[in-house]
Amino acid sequence: MPLSSARAADAPLRTAASVLAEAADARATVVLSGHVQPDADALGSTLSLAEGLRRRGARVLVTFPGPFTLPTSLGWLPGAEGLVPSTAVPSSPDVFVSLDAASPARLGELAVLLDTAGTSIVVDHHASNPGFGDVRLVDGGAPATVTLVAGLLDELGVTLDRPLATCLYAGLAADTGSFRFGNTRPETHELAARLLATGIDHSDISRRLFDTAPFGWLGLLSVVTGRAVLETEVGGGLVWTWSSTAEAAEHGLPGEQLEALVDVVRSTQEADVACVLKGQDDGSWSVSLRSRGATDVARVAMALGGGGHVLAAGYSSCADRETTIAALRRELASE
Ligand code: MN
């Protein structure tokens, strides 16, 4: 990164940190939240910033938009036991912090706090983030929202210890694919080194995040990969398949287990784009897209009403399966 842009990126960091420091000094009420169906980065960034602010003296409430169920793969994160329902937070807190949410819509019923809070701060790293909130700490080049939170904690003078580092490492490892994805920078490894130096059990964190699933996962995986379709003539090649929360339940699995399917499907050599349609309880499709590099799936997802990163994005569709995949084919053909 050129020095000039590094300096430009420091300004929102300092502004956000000074708003949070003032709030902490005044023992003000700070509400923090991340996107619906939070992943390791949303939860890790929210829980670690909340704990840091609590140590600095702020009155902190952490919540997530409904319908919220804590994924079992993440329920062990330090601080997760203190989450409160969205109905329990004040309607106009002194400060509201949104973490890892690419758009107000991703905050569900909590989006109203962007306007009703004394000050709203948006901390995010999605390329598709349009810019919202009063203070915008948004860096589309950051590999994870937790890296921005680590910068905030440093500015606030909060010492990274094992509980904080555990939350930060979970988000960092998840959003970089264990440091395999192209978003991994030299400073990503430097942060990882700082986190490991606190004494966290990174091997245990990785095992919980990536290598643990109920036996039923194998059955679901075989069904879903067995029905995958390869369409080499669409764009740079498309591989897609589908499942649903109901099908996950048939295998004894919570709906969150559907999230990992795309990580298997995207290994298909002949397709630049991998897609998994995940049928939700309300009948809609939650669509996951991954690119092997030639396709900007953030653009594709935005065109279809969603958002995300260049190589990992998603959107929702209320159309039936064939209509949903036909719309995706059209977008990929126009790439
Ligand atoms: Mn993220």
Q: How many angstroms does the Cα of residue 45 sit away from the middle of ligand 1?
A: 9
Q: How many angstroms does the Cα of residue 173 sit away from the middle of ligand 1?
A: 11
Q: How many angstroms does the Cα of residue 99 sit away from the middle of ligand 1?
A: 9
Token representation of residue 189: 């490894």
Q: How many angstroms does the Cα of residue 271 sit away from the middle of ligand 1?
A: 24
Measured CA angle at 38 (ends 138, 135), to 5 deg: 25
What letter would DSSP give residue 160?
Answer: P
Q: How many angstroms does the Cα of residue 137 sit away from the middle of ligand 1?
A: 13
Single pTM value for the model = 0.92
Closest-CA residue to 95 (of 173, 26, 192): 26
Q: How many angstroms does the Cα of residue 168 sit away from the middle of ligand 1?
A: 11
Q: How many angstroms does the Cα of residue 88 sit away from the middle of ligand 1?
A: 25
Q: How many angstroms does the Cα of residue 39 sit away from the middle of ligand 1?
A: 8
Distance CA(78)–CA(65), nearest Å, equals 20
pLDDT attached to residue 92: 97
Distance CA(293)–CA(215), nearest Å, equals 32
**In 176-278, which residue ranges form alpha helices assigned H by DSSP?**
186-197, 202-210, 216-226, 245-250, 261-265
Residue stretches of the chain with pLDDT short of 70: 1-9
Q: How many angstroms does the Cα of residue 147 sit away from the middle of ligand 1?
A: 10
Radius of gyration of the chain (CA): 20
Are 237 and 231 in contact by the 8 Å Cβ rule? The answer is yes
- Give the list of residues 6+ apart from residue 43 with CB closer than 8 angstroms, or none: 34, 74, 77, 80, 167, 170, 171
Q: Work out the number of other CB atoms within 10 angstroms of the CB of residue 143.
A: 24
Q: How many angstroms does the Cα of residue 193 sit away from the middle of ligand 1?
A: 20
For each of the domains in the chain, give its residue range(s) and CATH number, in order of start: 2-210 (3.90.1640.10), 216-333 (3.10.310.30)
Q: How many angstroms does the Cα of residue 226 sit away from the middle of ligand 1?
A: 30
pLDDT attached to residue 71: 87
Q: How many angstroms does the Cα of residue 41 sit away from the middle of ligand 1?
A: 5
What letter would DSSP give residue 277?
Answer: E
Q: How many angstroms does the Cα of residue 233 sit away from the middle of ligand 1?
A: 31
Q: How many angstroms does the Cα of residue 74 sit away from the middle of ligand 1?
A: 14
What letter would DSSP give residue 8?
Answer: H
> β-pairing, 312-317 with 285-291?
antiparallel
Q: How many angstroms does the Cα of residue 48 sit away from the middle of ligand 1?
A: 14
Distance CA(213)–CA(264), nearest Å, equals 14
Neighbours of ion ligand 1 (CB under 5 A): 41, 100, 145, 175
Measured CA angle at 321 (ends 267, 280), to 5 deg: 85
